[in-house]
Structure 1
Amino acid sequence: MRKLTFVALVLVLGFVTVQNASAQKVIKLNQVEGEFTTKHLDLKPGDYIFKVTNKGADKEVGFVLAPQENNGAAGEHIKEAYLQKTINKGETSESKVVTLKEGTYNYFCPLNPTPHYTITVSSK
């Protein structure tokens, strides 16, 4: 009986883990010298992972996400959105899970300086 209970518990925990992992959406962004190739994103509120690839920038690449009203002020960065590591040409890295609520956000790279680009999050 204990063995059956253990197996059932493992199956339930496995299901919850898979279900939570699939609830996140992955946003793939490419960065080249001085810019992101995607200039604007329209998203629904929810959980996202940002996956950034350095497609030709000679400098290391990073990723910063901040509420637009703060225009990317350092104290207002969404730290979960930072890449796990800075990336060189040809490399890819991703953020932790970022929960976006309705509103407008800026994303940019401070290392390979890019303009600030916009993410609009709306349930409409």
Structure 2
Amino acid sequence: MKKILATLVILLGFNSHGNAQDKMMKKEMQATTVTLEQTKGAFTQDNLTLKEGSYIFEISNNNVGHDVGFVLVSKGKDASNPENHIKTAYVTSVVKNNSKEKSNITTLQKGEYVYFCPLNPTPQYTLTVE
């Protein structure tokens, strides 16, 4: 009886883990991926306009020569203060030279934002959400 109960617990654990992965995959499918490329000291896309919604930011490091990252902040807030950063927009790992990394899903509402890389470093660019 104990073996049957243990087997059921294990199977239910796998099932709930599978359901969590399914939910995450569905959310990712509902998010739009925005691809941004960094070169030495700059993003190649200098201003963006998006619609209100959910996004995943994919950041590529095009031969910068060192790790890069991504910071997104509501325009008007102090971008140098990490408390103002939209943390879901951070890449999940630093972007190594000549590679790509993605952020978590980030929901953006209408307004203006700035994005930049403090590791590269780049200027601040405007992202407008309509």
Q: Same fold (TM over 0.5)?
A: yes
Percentage of identical aligned residues = 38
- Residue 110 of structure 1 corresponds to which residue in structure 2? 118
The residue type equivalent to 2:66 in the other structure is K
Q: Do structure 1's residue 79 and structure 2's residue 79 form an aligned pair?
A: no
The residue type equivalent to 1:117 in the other structure is Y
- Residue 53 of structure 1 corresponds to which residue in structure 2? 60
In structure 1, the residue corresponding to 2:76 is in which secondary structure? helix
What are structure 2's unaligned runs of at least 5 residues?
1-18
Q: Per-residue deviation at 1:60?
A: 1.1
Q: 1:28, 1:52 within 8 Å by CA — same for their partners in 2? A: yes
Select the structure of larger CA radius of gyration: 2
In structure 1, the residue corresponding to 2:55 is in which secondary structure? strand
Q: Do structure 1's residue 119 and structure 2's residue 123 form an aligned pair?
A: no
Q: Per-residue deviation at 1:20?
A: 3.0
In the alignment of these two chains, the number of paired residues is: 111
What are structure 1's unaligned runs of at least 5 residues?
1-12
Q: Per-residue deviation at 1:38?
A: 0.4
Alignment partner of 1:67 out of 74, 89, 95: 74
Q: Deviations over 1:8-66 (max 9, x none)?
A: xxxxx69x735433210000000000000000110000000000010010121000000
Q: Which runs of 4+ in 1 moved over 4 A?
A: none
TM-score by length of 1: 0.82
CA distance in 2, matches of 1:37, 1:104: 19
